[in-house]
A and B are shown apart, each in its own frame.
Chain A
């Protein structure tokens, strides 16, 4: 019966229509995607193609200055992607294949950058290794000029390598150890296995991580603003053309130029790498991976892993210390002033607003991700692939583009005039202090748009591993679709749902490039405030914000794990049966 439906998408579509709850779910998802993802991108592209925009395209693409800027952007992206992937690979390899002490602790330190706000790393690096750095100048007496490509590469690599690390670690753990064993039995040594078995099997993962990091790096706005020096990249140019000149056409044109490599990479990853994947994820490796035992290699790798851990600890230690001292490196007296500023002072508004909005966006993003995953994996209907693709655009497209697109679409009410009914406001004005909810609507929407893709991916990954017959059984026993989704599917993909929620919350709390254009007098956002503090050199306040932000994310993770962690009957049955 299942096969019959697979062959007939329209029939399945009819079935969806017959189930009103599912149908409304699908409609909501489609409306969400059209309104929140596609329309801003469309408006931005349209703006860039106006006559004025075309002239600008001409000017930018033919100007040596802008060619340098485009080259800088790509160069930075490639360097960060290469460094980050290498680092991620190395650390993942140590975790999975080498028996070294403190593994678990090192693993935890590698995760920290994910939950930390932007600029935290950049500011700490500036204080430690900058021109007046506590280490570079304090210990070595060098005024190291960290502004520009070298500083940016370091900071962006540190900020984003975790993505590659997690990705590759997951793949390495899923590699069937039988392959290694077979190679060993055939007489290969460890290095040969590494070169001819491990690496080739991981190529898709390596390429995927590389591309992901590339996109993250070229889209990054906060770090180039803080330590770009005269190394100009596209994102900072876009920023100035909006905040300084409010030239939306110029911003749109530059955004489209930035969009091209991002989308290209996204397509390559989606259609090429996923097809060449040779890894068979069985879910359960058939044995434990063989460990590297060669002492020299082992200790060298241990040293490398430990070095990275210590470096991260140093960075976050600096942030922590800076939050409690008057002016770190100038006046090291202890103080709680900075926390007073964030908790009681004028910084408190941003803290409350951001947490509240992230808390609203998180469950919506998590559920939306699971619903889309469910539709994409379990249902067959026309436009299924397009649904997945369009959702993923939320993260494939640089944040600056989403932010400017929102300004273009939502800075006025969207109305249609219908016969008989007159003019109807479809979507009220969402951006700016005069909009509904003081402009918070657009910000929540951006939070959701940026978080759903990750929830979708983890949902898809989880669902693909669950046999549909379990759900079919539920339906045959008389449960409806929504009941089955709620009582069977959702509990089964609980870990994916949980990681989707955690990611959504962390992402919402730390995102900057998209919302920097959308904060208003009535809705202040922590990351934007941190940028203000960093730019004006009030590092203590910025660090206190960072510490509190990290604290909030950690608390949220605990709360989420308690809330989502309840084991349901369905799951117990699964565990018992397995």
Chain B
């Protein structure tokens, strides 16, 4: 009886205090839209430079949170009833396709959409490409010498026993880089199957078959023996290679070049798998239910401009710009110099979540011998 009355009193007291608590601090931030919250997926220094440049350009107070692509997708999904971000900028388009599929993104067509290559524009203008880059291997020269092997030039090379525990890649559930690597293998396995027997690698819609996906899982469970650890963010393995913690990192080649420019010249070397590598089109999209939709649209318009795309160079982010008028650095890896796979972004996007979950259940937690 006494206990009960205590609880009742607590509730009454809380009820008395609560309205006061609610009333005061909630200011209607969204009314005037002088702020913008960006969900930013590329490396942190680029996020800083972009938000500062936008703030200078428009006077809109711009803040950001950096999250890897898979993390971002998870966060947007979790907060869809009351989104905290207005625009999502960067990271492979697969994640944007997955997000649009789930109704988390609001289509918006910016004026400059017309200058983009057709593959850099999402269905219904759900997303737009802001940069492009190819996947590669970033290796520590000295470490390779010690192991007595050459820098890897094929996906098979990564399975060499010498590389046991000496390779790192991010976790496909959190990182778009790692997912790009996974889907690259899916594509290569589909090509292999298709070459052996027509119709086994791709279905009638041109989507890689379940068999191809299974084969990719088989490849990654072999590769797992050579992985030291799965990092959260895609570019992190590059730093591990640069610091001599591992021999080979599977990362985007522009992130490897960035390392070289920023003090690891001669320490890391950038190579590509000859059978073909994947690439990303960095996406950008308006988040459905965005708290600052007008500011977000301004960002989307601005991010495709030459001015905005030139910011990348100032922080050594050497991805290729999607606006063809933007000057390209000599240091950037040109896509026509690399053997690229036929990367099906739509198929990748639609399979993203299922693959991430399966990877986390079947591959990542496995002990290695």
Q: Identify the A interface with B (CB < 8 A).
A: 10, 13, 27, 30-31, 34-35, 65-66, 68-69, 126, 130-132, 137, 143, 145, 147, 225, 228-230, 232, 237, 240-247, 326-327, 329-331, 345-346, 382-383, 411-412, 416, 418, 421, 424-429, 432-434, 436-437, 519-522, 532, 535-539
Contact = CB atoms under 8 A, between A and B. Distances in A.
Contacts of A428: 18, 21-22, 26
A538 B43 CA distance: 12
Interface in B14-47: 14-15, 18-19, 21-22, 25-26, 37, 43-44
A126 B360 contact: no
Contact of B365 (A237, A519, A538): A237
A434 B360 contact: no
B79 interface: yes
B331 interface: no
B158 interface: no
Contacts of B9: 27
Given A243-B74, A412-B82, A521-B37, 8 more contacts: A13-B2, A69-B365, A243-B232, A244-B74, A244-B173, A382-B2, A424-B18, A436-B25
22 contacts: A10-B2, A27-B9, A34-B10, A65-B367, A126-B245, A145-B165, A229-B229, A232-B367, A245-B70, A246-B78, A330-B243, A330-B264, A330-B267, A382-B2, A412-B81, A412-B82, A426-B15, A433-B65, A434-B79, A519-B65, A521-B84, A535-B233
A331 B267 CA distance: 12
Contacts of A30: 6, 10
A331 B263 contact: yes
B19 A65 contact: no
Contacts of A429: 82
A132 B243 contact: yes
Q: Which of B26, B229, B264, B357 is the most central at the interface, judged by chain A CB atoms within 10 Å of its CB?
A: B229
Nearest to A224: B229
B350 interface: no
A97 to B, nearest CB: 42
B48 interface: yes
Given A240-B364, A521-B65, A27 B10 contact: yes
A65 B243 CA distance: 31
B159 to A, nearest CB: 16
B316 to A, nearest CB: 14
Nearest to B10: A31
Contacts of A35: 14
B210 interface: no
Interface in B55-86: 63-66, 70-71, 74-75, 77-79, 81-85
B366 interface: yes
A427 B263 CA distance: 50
Contacts of B48: 345-346
A326 B11 CA distance: 56
Nearest to B75: A246
Contact of A424 (B15, B43, B232): B15
B18 A65 contact: no
A73 to B, nearest CB: 12
